[in-house]
Structure 1
Amino acid sequence: MTPTRIALTAGEPRAHVQLAVGALAPRLITRDATRAHVAVTAAGMVLLGGDHVHVAIDVGPGCTLEIEDVGGTVAYRGAPSSWVLDVRIGVGGTLLWHGLPFVVTDGADAERRSSLTLADGARALIRETLVLGRHGERGGRLTSELTVVDETGPVLIERLEADGAAPQPGVLGQNRVIDAVIAVGFRPPARPGDLEFDRPGSMARHLSDHTHGSPLDPVWDAWAGAAAERAHAEEAVIAR
């Protein structure tokens, strides 16, 4: 499939935003000199068995990109499918992506790989919700990888393998939903039980058997506010 691409660079009076439609269709909502708000929705049925989706995102130095997910993603029964996200964030840049659930239905075999590369002073906040099965289903097979690196090396490397038809003790247990808010490149407000990384960043995670009523909704709001404050401070420094 043709890659979906979103690229943001600063400009006057408005930032330059490049959008390329692939399996996902990005649409520009608002922008100013350094910020853009983009919505993404599926351009067709995805992920069907055998689909291979690639999304590339580039956030320019000193820019803030907010991505609004519309509709989420469902991996359907069939041949192995993949969903690959490559993100590069320039010096002092910020990415905010509140992803909607990624659902793996019965009989699906899905691979999801997300890679983020942060330049000096860059930061990202991502909401990731992985769901085994629709209502009444146990779900298919899911392999999910998340890799974050900055100029000094790896910040976070994580891999999850789960299969609704053959649950593994110590992975998800009887749960079928793993919900996470992931902050990298900055320290969000501390909460008991969160995982703090060696370098600036934290993860809040919740396991459940349903997607509604997640306790991480207010966490996203608080951490997004912290990321925005850092971005404003960075913009003020660049403006000088």
Structure 2
Amino acid sequence: MSVQARARIVATRDGGLPVLESAGPLALRRTRADGAHTRVTVVGAMSAPLGGDRLAIEAQVREGARLYVDSAAATVALPGRAPEPAVYEITLDVADDAEVRWLPEPLISARGSELRMRTSVRLAPTARLVLREEQILGRHGEETGSLTSRLTVLRAGRPLLDQELAYGPAAPEGWDGPAVLGGHRAVGQLLIVDPEFEKHPARTRQFGTSAVLTPLAGPAVLVTAVAPDALALRRILDTALSAGSDSGNG
């Protein structure tokens, strides 16, 4: 039987979490604070998402709040009995002078699975965001499942970023070609939004041969990377996070 579950987070300026609602396989736990940020860890309570599942996490970060969200382990998309694809939706609503650091562990697309991942972010004009996405195409020694990932970001009600990526058997032909992944099996991106970029614009920068930091048309930078495995990908994105944060601070 397919699972439908929606977990919710509300964070406030004083470090409070007036809403911290777990649901189904999405168990939310308040964990030790990371500096000034209130920290929430997503703990998988069961195997998910499976085919046909519809999972969602909603986070509302109120004015002046600081929220850090991570996960206890990688999320593994698995085939299920239902023929429909699984759907996993993340919605972040970030108020003025608030900040979200959304840094989960990777998503692994197992052979035979089909997942549609959607992340929607709404930022107030002075909100800040650090968002990392990492996708591992197949477990060790196996082919990838089908994965479609869409990221949409609005800032002050205007589009900042809207992109969709697709991999695996259900993706358009050429997804694994030299112009896209070139045989790599780990792909990721890092988005940093900070009003400080308006004062200190970032410059395009390359990290090795498989990652690049690109300024967006707004106070933001986007890092895109491919790598042979999850460890190499994380190292690249960690380096890029340091570089991007330093750019925003001048």
Residues 61 and 94 in structure 2, CA contact (< 8 A), matched pair in contact too: yes
Q: 1:133 to 1:167 in 2, by over 3 A?
A: farther
Mapped contact 1:96–1:224 kept (Cα < 8 A): no
Query: Residues 134, 16 of structure 1: CA spacing in aligned structure 2 closer, same or farther, 3 A cutoff?
Result: closer
Corresponding letter in the other structure for 1:60: R
Letter in 2 for 1:3: R
Counterpart for residue 240 of structure 2: 219
Tell me the TM-score normalized by structure 1.
0.85
CA apart distance, 1:16 = 3.8
Q: Which amino acid aligns with 1:183?
A: I
Other-structure match for 1:176 = 185
Query: Is structure 2 residue 170 aligned with structure 1 residue 161?
Result: no
Q: Percent identity?
A: 27
Q: Deviations over 1:81-117 (max 9, x none)?
A: 0110011001111000112110111111110000000
**Offset of residue 31 of structure 1:** 5.7
Q: Deviations over 1:51-78 (max 9, x none)?
A: 1111100101011101121102100023
The answer to whether the aligner puts 1:51 opposite 2:64 as a matched pair is no
The 5 Å alignment of 1:68-79 reads 68-78=70-80, 79=83
* TM norm structure 2: 0.82
Q: 1:43 to 1:167 in 2, by over 3 A?
A: farther
Cα distance in 2, alignment partners of residues 63 and 191 from structure 1: 30
Q: How does 1:76-225 map to 2 (within 5 A)?
A: 76-78=78-80, 79=83, 80-163=85-168, 168=175, 169=177, 170-186=179-195, 187=197, 190=203, 192-193=205-206, 194-213=213-232, 214-223=235-244
- Structure 1 runs (4+) deviating above 6 angstroms are none
User: In structure 2, what is the Cα distance between the partners aligned to 1:151 and 1:72?
Assistant: 32
Change (3 A) 1:53 1:225: farther
Distance (whole Å) between structure 1 residues aligned to residue 184 and residue 166 of structure 2 = 14
Counterparts of 1:154 and 1:108, CA distance in 2: 31
